[in-house]
Structure 1
Amino acid sequence: MIVAVLAGLAAGALWALAFIAPELVRPFAASDLTLVRYAVFGASSLPLLAVLPGERWWPVVKVHWRAVVLLALAGNTFYYLLLSEAIQRSGPLLPAMVVGALPVVMTVLGGLRDGHFSPLRVAMPALFILSGLMTHIGTSPSPVPVTSASGSMLGLALAVAALASWAFYGLRNAELLDAHPCIDLLAWTALTGVATLITLVPLAAFSLGQGIGPWRSSFSEIAPLLFWGAVLGLLSSWLATWFWNIASRTLSGELLGYLIVSETVFAILYAFLLEWRLPTPAELLSMQLLITGVVLGMRATPRMRPQKQELARERIFSAQGRLDDDD
């Protein structure tokens, strides 16, 4: 249990690197970083599949290849494209507010799908998390001006779609891993990387067709993009996905939702390091509210999925029965 929680927190810490990388690869666009990041994720997954015995991943491909491709789209390529387009349409503030609510949405949906949802149990942690999010956004610089009301509404719709896309990925990925404990987590992570690489083909073809992309630059210009693309591909995508799969196999959907807050907290901390400054009192308050919400939620939330809890009870009763027989 502790290992699964630590794995979920570690995944959030690695995902948060993606929030500072775009500032470090300018003037390249976020789409350029996306291409390099997920290309590294997929390319690094191929050698692992070649090394792993075929029986650890080939049966999974035959049965679940559609699910792997769908999850790669929902959790990686499609999600990021929706989010980046939302930011371009309406500025960064509105999408940040929408996608920042992901922990609360995951917690509610996870509780509903697990069959253990309680509005009273979720209300107080959600209030702290949303308050922390709003406090942090309120201390941020002014957003980029929106060109029109229609652009703002479209940006809102795209942000909501991005939120729904990742929430689907987080919950469906956890359900599959829980329902099929025989799936090797290393192989599942590598298959997700290869599937993500496949989903990049249309995006790369579009960039080539438009005559845009990082390949039109010299090596000295592209070096920061390649470096941070490799960092994100290996750490924020590969290692973080593996950590998240470890957490998803064991923890309840509600608890997974709370653990995503670690991404927001670490992103704030990385921003302080990038700007080489200490947080303001308001920023400290926002992080305290976020962490308090997570602690309250984790204390009140069932740790394991219902199937895992039932199995644990059966093992306890079975062990007790053997002790009684011995007596």
Structure 2
Amino acid sequence: MPLSPTASGGLRGAAAMSLLGCSTGVSAAFSAYPLLGGQALRYLLASVLLVPIALRSSGPSGGDPGARLPTGREFGRLVALAGTGLVGFNVLLVQALRHSGPAAVGSVVGAAPLVMAVLGPLLAGRRPGAAAVTAAAVVAAGAAAAQGFGTGDAAGTAFALGTLGCEAAFSLLAVPLLPRLGPVGVSAWATVLAVPMFSVAAVLADGRAALRRPDGSELAALLYLAVLMTCVAFLLWYRALERLGPERAGLFAGLVPITAALSGAVLGEGVPGAGEVFGAVLVGCGVCLGLRSPRRAPVGPSGLGTPESGVRAGRRSVTMR
């Protein structure tokens, strides 16, 4: 029995954000490697994997317009997506974490579902739905409760707000691209465009120190981040965005601190505390409430509704996108 668009999109969104939340240990293993050079390597490897998938998916038997060339306007939007959602997100998050604790930064970035619930409809020329905004607010509160609020200075808050904007841009800029380019095409183009951006930034910032030979644990982390956190998670997320829309897909971002806490418990880092359990309950309630709201703005080619690795604040840790 085939799944409904809501169920299919929900499963993909949950899987994408769970992969992100569970990657905190991997991010830690890669944190000593030069940031910009490491991201250039990661996206280069992901591009090598995604481009053939895009070419294959657009063939005679393919079901996704993955290799379709973007128009000039679409290309500009893809550049903006890669520059904000990938490069800007990572750089601003690192700066935020230098001024504030991960909990404080994560609490700000955790408001992404609320931002998407408001901006998604406005960018589509309609008013935000009260039910969707309420659900997103519950999810954001749950995410903040799960990771704690923490403390930080004004600069850290400013960088965290910039990170929040880039987080929302990763999805909102993709919405108009999905009907024609598809999730595979958007993922492949954004990943390819991120490589020269990170490479130029790495050379300007670090020079010859931008790259070095990774050790065994760093190489394993790089492969995980390139394959699972880019290729798999990006495809899952953009497919969820296509089916659910930004208001409802954005709710699943609240799963990041929850799955981070659960993965930490599995790895022996301690049982989740009362705040994390309470946050998980709030996130679950918010997601259920949001998925019950009507789907009003189809973005996919079939009329159905509508990531790594950078750095993302999770459960008092740094997570690569």
Shorter chain as denominator, the TM-score bin is 0.7 to 0.9
Which amino acid in 2 is paired with 1:157?
Answer: A
* Offset from partner CA, 1:190-233 (integer Å, 9 cap, x none): 22221121221212313542x42450x5x5xx221121111111
RMSD across aligned C-alpha pairs, in angstroms? 3.0
Which amino acid in 2 is paired with 1:84?
Answer: V
For residues 238 and 59 of structure 2, the distance between their equivalents in structure 1, rounded to whole angstroms, comes to 20
Report the CA distance shift for 1:307/1:128 in structure 2 as closer, same or farther (over 3 A).
closer
Give the CA deviation at 1:184: 4.1
* 1:305 corresponding residue in structure 2: 297
Give the CA deviation at 1:18: 4.1
For residues 214 and 271 of structure 1, the distance between their equivalents in structure 2, rounded to whole angstroms, comes to 30
Superposed counterparts of 1:68-87, under 5 Å: 68-87=78-97
The TM-score with structure 1 as length reference comes to 0.77
Give the CA deviation at 1:161: 1.1
Give the CA deviation at 1:281: 3.0
Which amino acid in 1 is paired with 2:272?
Answer: P
For residues 298 and 59 of structure 2, the distance between their equivalents in structure 1, rounded to whole angstroms, comes to 32
* 1:324 corresponding residue in structure 2: none
Taking every aligned residue pair, what percent have the same amino acid on both sides? 23
* 2:246 corresponding residue in structure 1: 253
Secondary structure of 1:235's aligned partner: helix
Secondary structure of 2:271's aligned partner: coil
* 1:41 corresponding residue in structure 2: 46
Secondary structure of 1:305's aligned partner: coil
Superposed counterparts of 1:1-327, under 5 Å: 1=5, 2-25=7-30, 27-28=32-33, 30-31=35-36, 33-48=38-53, 56=65, 59-63=68-72, 64-114=74-124, 115-119=126-130, 121-122=131-132, 124-138=134-148, 152-178=153-179, 180=180, 183-209=181-207, 211-215=208-212, 222-299=215-292, 301-303=293-295, 305-306=297-298
* 2:308 corresponding residue in structure 1: none
Structure (1/2) with the larger helix percentage? 1
Give the CA deviation at 1:71: 1.2
Report the CA distance shift for 1:29/1:270 in structure 2 as closer, same or farther (over 3 A).
farther
Larger radius of gyration, structure 1 or 2? Answer: 1
Which deviates the most, 242-251 or 40-49? 40-49
Q: Is the 8 A contact 1:17 1:236 kept in 2?
A: no
Q: Is the 8 A contact 1:111 1:117 kept in 2?
A: yes
Give the CA deviation at 1:66: 2.2
Report the CA distance shift for 1:10/1:155 in structure 2 as closer, same or farther (over 3 A).
same
Q: Is the 8 A contact 2:81 2:170 kept in 1?
A: yes
Which amino acid in 2 is paired with 1:71?
Answer: L
Give the CA deviation at 1:20: 2.9
Q: Is the 8 A contact 1:20 1:267 kept in 2?
A: no
Report the CA distance shift for 1:40/1:18 in structure 2 as closer, same or farther (over 3 A).
farther
Q: Is the 8 A contact 1:72 1:193 kept in 2?
A: yes
Q: Is the 8 A contact 1:87 1:155 kept in 2?
A: yes
Secondary structure of 2:105's aligned partner: helix
For residues 51 and 134 of structure 2, the distance between their equivalents in structure 1, rounded to whole angstroms, comes to 44
* Offset from partner CA, 1:65-117 (integer Å, 9 cap, x none): 22222211221111111111111123323211110111121122223334252
Report the CA distance shift for 1:204/1:42 in structure 2 as closer, same or farther (over 3 A).
farther
Secondary structure of 1:265's aligned partner: helix
For residues 189 and 31 of structure 2, the distance between their equivalents in structure 1, rounded to whole angstroms, comes to 31
5+ long unaligned stretches in structure 1: 147-151, 313-327
Report the CA distance shift for 1:26/1:158 in structure 2 as closer, same or farther (over 3 A).
closer
Give the CA deviation at 1:264: 3.1
For residues 21 and 160 of structure 2, the distance between their equivalents in structure 1, rounded to whole angstroms, comes to 18
* 1:320 corresponding residue in structure 2: none
* Number of corresponding residues: 293
Give the CA deviation at 1:159: 1.2
Which deviates the most, 96-105 or 270-279? 270-279
Report the CA distance shift for 1:11/1:212 in structure 2 as closer, same or farther (over 3 A).
same
Which amino acid in 1 is paired with 2:276?
Answer: E
For residues 121 and 36 of structure 2, the distance between their equivalents in structure 1, rounded to whole angstroms, comes to 34
For residues 286 and 83 of structure 2, the distance between their equivalents in structure 1, rounded to whole angstroms, comes to 30
For residues 236 and 11 of structure 1, the distance between their equivalents in structure 2, rounded to whole angstroms, comes to 8
Q: Is the 8 A contact 1:86 1:159 kept in 2?
A: yes
